[in-house]
Amino acid sequence: MTQIAPFQAAIFDMDGTLLDTEAMFKTIVFEVCTDLGFEMTDLVHSGMVGSSHERTSQLLIEAYGVSFPYSLFDEKCRVVMRERSHAGVPLKPGVREFISALHANNIPTAVATSSRNPHAQHHLGAAGLLDLFETIVTRDDVTNPKPHPEPYLMAAGRLSMKPEHCLALEDSFAGVHAAHAAGMQTIMVPDLVAPSDEIRSLGITIMDSLVHVHKAAFPR
């Protein structure tokens, strides 16, 4: 079994790590692009996973030109996402059990997400997770979003923890780079995007699910 070094806090990415929302959002992205007269591709979409609002805008303009109506695209995606998540937001396997084990062992938890605060509050609330974290760092809280380490450093600071004492859970390349640059023990739990050779070269741990992380963190 993969070994996890002792840690004093756990910091989670949100979409694709805690919440099983990336597949839903991928469908919406393709639909909205088609409605706007553009053809989304898997390659372009993969670059969007885990990216900030600013990076996504840049990526889409690079892919489709300056005529791409990013503000309209973003608004439509948010409206459809909110409509489809009205009945609740599905969790990734093992989320509740792992968080419960962390709390049982007096390990504080936080979220570090590239999403803006209203999106994070809504989705974590709809999933029933909002009250399970000591702090939630969103795009609105930082100057530099992922892949910059600021979101993770801020989360550690709010927990009064040194970064090297924190475990970071991520599903995206941008998030892995952010947590690794922050000096945290970083685990990638892939969702839609498989780890690349470049990501593997960072020496991070890669695990199939939070169920596996849970078992490795708290072996019986």
Domain identity same for 127 and 173 = yes
**Backbone region of residue 206 per phi and psi (left: phi > 0; alpha: psi in -120 to 50; beta: other values):** beta
- Residues 109, 63: one domain? no
Claim to verify: residue 198 and residue 157 sit in the same structural domain: yes
Q: Are residues 104 and 137 in the same domain?
A: yes
For residues 120 and 136, the answer to whether their CB atoms sit within 8 Å is: yes
Host domain of residue 70: 22-84
Query: What per-residue confidence (pLDDT) applies to 88?
Result: 75
- Residue-level pLDDT at 197: 95
CATH of the domain at 195: 3.40.50.1000
Q: Are residues 123 and 93 in the same domain?
A: yes
Q: Is residue 2 part of a domain?
A: no
Q: Which of these three, 84, 111, 135, is where a domain ends?
A: 84
Answer yes or no: do 164 and 208 share one domain.
yes
Q: Which of 50, 48, 21, 2 is nearest to 185 (CA)?
A: 2
| Number of domains the chain contains | 2
The Cα 45–Cα 123 span in angstroms is 21
- Same-domain status, 176 and 164: yes
Residue 108: HSE in the Cβ half-sphere, 13 Å Cα cutoff: 14
Tell me the pLDDT tens digit for each residue of 21-76: 878 888 899 999 999 999 999 899 888 887 778 888 998 999 999 999 999 999 99
Report yes or no on 1 lying in a domain.
no
Q: How confident is the model at residue 84 (pLDDT cuts 50, 70, 90)?
A: confident
Q: Does 180 map to a domain? A: yes
Query: Out of 68-72, 83-87, 193-197, which region has the weakest mean confidence (pLDDT)?
Result: 83-87
CB 101 within 8 A of CB 217: yes
Helices and strands per DSSP (H, E), number in the chain: 10, 6
Does the global pTM surpass 0.75?
yes
Q: Which of 84, 104, 135 marks a domain boundary?
A: 84
* Cα(14)–Cα(169) distance, integer angstroms: 9
Among 41, 68, 84, identify where a domain stops: 84
Can you tell me the mean pLDDT for 126-146?
A: 95
- 135 within a domain of the structure (yes/no): yes
| Residue 4 included in any domain | no
**If you average pLDDT over each of 19-33, 76-90, 174-188, which comes out highest?**
174-188
The reply to whether 79 and 112 lie within a common domain is no
Q: Is residue 173 part of a domain?
A: yes
